[in-house]
Structure formats: structure tokens, C-alpha cells
Chain A
Amino acid sequence: MPTVIFQLPDGTERKVTAASGTVLMQAAVSNGVAGIVAECGGNASCATCHVYLDAAQSELAGGPNDVEDEMLDFTAAERRPTSRLSCQVQLSDALDPMLVHVPEEQV
């Protein structure tokens, strides 16, 4: 069961665990992590599940797919090299513990 540590914009941290293969967005939402809105429920249509992966883990997680890549240009908070839509990122043992930075705004 990988652990995910969400670092919130106010400096606090939320630690949750979820099964390998779970989508990162789902792990956040089902634990009520503030700042991951996920309005479209994981359909890659809303970009309100934007996160910054930790730089050290970003490469291991792989890059965004084509549609996601285009969408990331229009997130509410600025795009950074490690930006992903969390509904397109799967948890894995290789990324345990996973470090995720939640952006200031989503909508």
C-alpha cells in the first residue's frame, strides 16, 4: 500500500495510503484532501486535479499523455515541469512514498 504525502499550499501535510494501481486523484478525493477538486470525476476534462509531482519522482512517474499535456497549459495555477493531472497518475510501489505538491488554485 503506497503512501502519498500531499503538501498543501498552507505548508501542512496530509498523509494517506491507497492500493497500488489506484489513481492519485482518487486517493486524494476519497480522503478529503483539500485542493484537489476533480470536478469531472477523473475524465481528463476539467484540469481541476492539477498537482506538482516531486522533482525526484517526476521522471519515474512518466510524463503526461498528449491530451493531458495540452490541458496542462491551461491550469488555474501556473504549469511547472513536474505538473500532472492527478487523475492520470497511478500509484505504484516504485513511487512509495509519493510526494505531491498541491497548487494554490484549481478553478
Chain B
Amino acid sequence: MSADRPGVAGVVVVGGGQAGFSVVSTLRAGGYDGPVTVFADEPHLPYQRPPLSKKAHTEPDELRVSLVPESFYGERDIELRLGDDVVALDTADRTVRSRAGLSVPYAHLVLATGARNRPLPVPGADLAGVHAVRSLDDALAVGRALTTAQDVVVIGGGFIGLELAQVARARGARVTVVELADRLLSRAVSPQLAEHLRRRHEESGVHVHTGTAVQAIEGTDRVRQVVTSAGTLPADLVVYGIGAVPRDELARDAGLAVDDGVLVDEQLRSVSDPRVSAVGDCARHPHPHAPGLVRLESVQNATDQGALVGRRLAGQPPAPYANLPWFWSDQGAVKLQIAGLRAPSDDVRLVAGDTPGRLAAYAFRGGRLAAVETLDWPAEHLAARRLLERETPVLADELTDTTLGGLARARRAAEVRA
């Protein structure tokens, strides 16, 4: 038994989201037979968040978002404590205490607490009719509001804001996106691709105001208008998505190292305490594709990090976390996918696909392919993932007259011949 393999005290996971689920399912699949407890503060079974901003949810039973049915946990002897959050962590005693008063000892603790939405720092943000979307309950509230809303203002031109803009458009509302930066998706997508995406949104009837600050939200009982640096917009529904902050306060209060996320090593172990790991949105970690430390907010990151820790705790030989980051976002009919991590200084080349609407942005760093963004071109995205995962780099001049799909097929054919 490795020093890391928990004994009777078992594994405790704080957070029943994408990453926490991945930890416990991998743990049991890997043969771990000690006690496993998951604390999940939401009343729902662990679920997927991506659909929340991509569909308008009106009826709870339309929401088939649970990762697995409840029986999954029972069959695997996983104690799932829904609606009970961990309020204190004692790393000396190795116990957690829950709001309901439960005290549970651990041999290993996994923090999978996710992130919370950055609050909107303007007057009127607390008016009725102003919503952020992170939880199932948020999505239901927006879905209900959309049955009557006519003028929707979306604050924030990031993934979630743009997805919600298309959801509101599909319901027939007039939709305006207000973004402070001078372009959409300024943090995560190249300027070249973001420009195309903006055109696609405008073609669908969404108004986009970039370089515009929201100054106040006004109304008496509920929202009536949004005051911006470029004028006043009527609104009977405001949704905002202006980023998220990691839920790392439990770790900080327990004295673990935290800096915009729980600081972990390449094994995803807390740098302050080898009996604690952190995974998903709440973890800041080293990654071979990024300089310094990164904190990623994606399903891929949550799932793969959870699986790494689950395997390690089940006694498999540890391996450093190095999975290729990838992401997708469906903005109405437009499918955006990203493989790898682009840096602002990368050289970006736009490549059109063989059918209209398909587009790829190849990002090169020092002449090598580092990241690929695609619009409506899943095969090219998958080819990018396969190529970026390989040791053999893709060089800029290999892609002068072929796509990544073409290159991947050619390389595979060459391997078969060899």
C-alpha cells in the first residue's frame, strides 16, 4: 500500500460537480474499497453545467442534466450528501465538518468546490429580473423569465453571455450584448476568430456593443433599463456572465496555500498538505502547455483532473497532470471548439474549411502549432487534438496547403506504411 492510499478513514470529496463526480467514479472503477463520501451543497444530483446556458429550461423534468442516476452512487457504496456543505476543514485532525453537523475523518481529502460567478459591480444588480447563470436553479429562473421577456440585455461577451444571447434570440426576444472590452471573447479566443463569431451573432439578429461599460441597472420593483456608456437600453430581463472566481475559501481558512485557486503540484496535491488534493475550477496547477500556473474552467479539465486523482487514490502509479486542454461552446447554431492553450503573442492563421461557415484559427508559437480554434468544424477540432497530443510537433509550413485533418490522415497513413 502506498503512503497515499487511504486507510479506513477513506476519501472525502467536497463538491458534487463535474470534478467531484469524476473523482469518485474513477476511484471505484479503479477498485478502491474504502469509505467514500461526497458533500454537495446543491440539492440536485451531480449534473452538467454546459446545457444550462445553451438551452432555455422551463420544466424541471426537461432538465436531463444529471451525470448519472441516483442508483449509480448506491450501487458503488458512495455516500452522497446532497444539500449539505462542508463548513470547516481541520487539516491537523484530518476531519471536515458539515453544515448539518456531521464530522467526517479523512485519509485523503479532495477539494472540488468549483467556482462562483463574479458579482456584477453596478447599482441595480440586485433588482428582480437580473440573473447570472451557474446553477440548475439559475437556469430554471432564466427559462421562466424568457417566456415573457421581450428586451434582453446580456452583460458580458464571453462564452456564457453569448450562449445565453442565442437562447434568448431563439425565444424571439430582442437581444443586446454589452461588452466592456473592445471585442468579444477577449480572454479565450483569438481576435481573428472572435471577429467572425461577432458577425455570426449579428446575422442572427443579436446587437453587439463592444467597448461599452454598464453603469447602472434601473427599475422600481424590477429591471426596466440598463444605462451604458453608449446610451440607455430598455430591458425586462438582464443576464450577466462576467467571469468566475474559484471557491477556495475553505482551503484558505484551513491555512492551505491559495492564490486565485487552491495551489497544487503536478499531481494535483495541495502544495501545503499531501493529504489534500484539489481538482477542477477551484485548482491552480502547473501544466506543460502553460507558463507558470493555470486555473482552467472546463469540463475537460474537471473530468481529467478528477480522474487523475481518483486513479492515484485507487493505488495506481501516479503520473503528472498533462492532458491537452480542450473546450467547446455552442452559441446558437454555431459550434466553437478550442484545443490547446493559445497565448496572446501567438501567430494566428485563419483557414477556411471546404464548406461555408467552417473556419479554423491555427495559433503558432515559435513556428509550432500550439492551439487551434474552430467554428462548425468538429473533425478539424478532433484532428487538432490528436496532433497536439502527439510528441511530434506540427510545424507552420506543414500546413500551407493542407488542413490538420489532411495532415493527421497523411501522418497516420505514413505510420501504417512504416
Question: Footprint of B on A, CB under 8 Å?
Answer: 26, 29-32, 34, 37, 39-41, 43-47, 67, 70-71, 73-75, 107
| B405 and A43 form a contact (CB under 8 A) | no
| A45 and B68 form a contact (CB under 8 A) | no
| B379 and A71 form a contact (CB under 8 A) | yes
CA distance A39 to B67 in the complex (A): 10
Determine which of B69, B378, B409 lies in contact with A71 in the assembled complex, contact meaning CB atoms within 8 Å. B378
CA distance A46 to B385 in the complex (A): 10
| B299 and A39 form a contact (CB under 8 A) | yes
Residue of B nearest to A35 (CB): B29
CA distance A70 to B300 in the complex (A): 22
A97, chain B: closest CB distance, angstroms: 21
**What 19 new A-B contacts, CB under 8 Å, besides A39-B299, A43-B328, A107-B304?**
A26-B64, A29-B67, A32-B25, A32-B68, A34-B29, A37-B303, A39-B300, A41-B48, A41-B51, A45-B381, A47-B382, A67-B378, A67-B379, A73-B379, A73-B382, A73-B383, A74-B379, A74-B405, A75-B382
For the complex of A and B, 3 pairs with smallest distance between CB atoms:
A70-B379, A74-B382, A32-B72
CB interface residues, B 288-321, toward A, < 8 Å: 299-300, 303-304
Q: Does B330 contact A (CB under 8 A)?
A: yes
| A45 and B29 form a contact (CB under 8 A) | no
Q: Does B386 contact A (CB under 8 A)?
A: yes
Instruction: Give 30 A-B contacts (CB < 8 Å), ordered by A residue.
Output: A31-B69, A32-B68, A32-B69, A32-B72, A32-B75, A37-B303, A39-B299, A39-B300, A40-B50, A40-B328, A41-B48, A45-B330, A45-B335, A45-B337, A45-B378, A45-B381, A46-B328, A67-B378, A70-B405, A71-B378, A71-B379, A71-B382, A73-B405, A73-B408, A74-B379, A74-B382, A74-B383, A74-B385, A74-B386, A107-B304
CB interface residues, B 325-357, toward A, < 8 Å: 328, 330, 335, 337
B154, chain A: closest CB distance, angstroms: 22
| B335 and A43 form a contact (CB under 8 A) | yes
List A contacts of B335 (CB < 8 A): 43, 45
Residue of A nearest to B25 (CB): A32
Q: Kindly name the residue among B328, B335, B337, B378 whose own CB sees the greatest number of chain A CB atoms within 10 A.
A: B378
A84, chain B: closest CB distance, angstroms: 15
| A43 and B330 form a contact (CB under 8 A) | yes
| A73 and B409 form a contact (CB under 8 A) | yes
B389, chain A: closest CB distance, angstroms: 9
List A contacts of B75 (CB < 8 A): 32
| A39 and B386 form a contact (CB under 8 A) | no
CA distance A41 to B55 in the complex (A): 13
CA distance A29 to B50 in the complex (A): 16
List A contacts of B330 (CB < 8 A): 43, 45
CB interface residues, B 65-80, toward A, < 8 Å: 67-69, 72, 75
| A45 and B328 form a contact (CB under 8 A) | yes
CA distance A67 to B376 in the complex (A): 10
List B contacts of A107 (CB < 8 A): 304
CA distance A45 to B64 in the complex (A): 19
CB interface residues, B 365-385, toward A, < 8 Å: 378-379, 381-383, 385
CA distance A107 to B69 in the complex (A): 23
CA distance A41 to B385 in the complex (A): 18
CA distance A46 to B405 in the complex (A): 15
B87, chain A: closest CB distance, angstroms: 30
CA distance A34 to B386 in the complex (A): 22
CA distance A31 to B386 in the complex (A): 29
List B contacts of A41 (CB < 8 A): 48, 50-51
A99, chain B: closest CB distance, angstroms: 23
CA distance A44 to B328 in the complex (A): 11
CA distance A14 to B269 in the complex (A): 35
A68, chain B: closest CB distance, angstroms: 9
List B contacts of A45 (CB < 8 A): 328, 330, 335, 337, 378, 381
List A contacts of B25 (CB < 8 A): 32
Determine which of A30, A40, A74, A75 lies in contact with B69 in the assembled complex, contact meaning CB atoms within 8 Å. A30
List A contacts of B303 (CB < 8 A): 37, 39
CA distance A89 to B292 in the complex (A): 43
CA distance A47 to B380 in the complex (A): 12
CA distance A87 to B403 in the complex (A): 26
| B68 and A29 form a contact (CB under 8 A) | yes
B410, chain A: closest CB distance, angstroms: 12
List B contacts of A39 (CB < 8 A): 299-300, 303
A2, chain B: closest CB distance, angstroms: 18
| A44 and B378 form a contact (CB under 8 A) | yes
CA distance A70 to B382 in the complex (A): 10
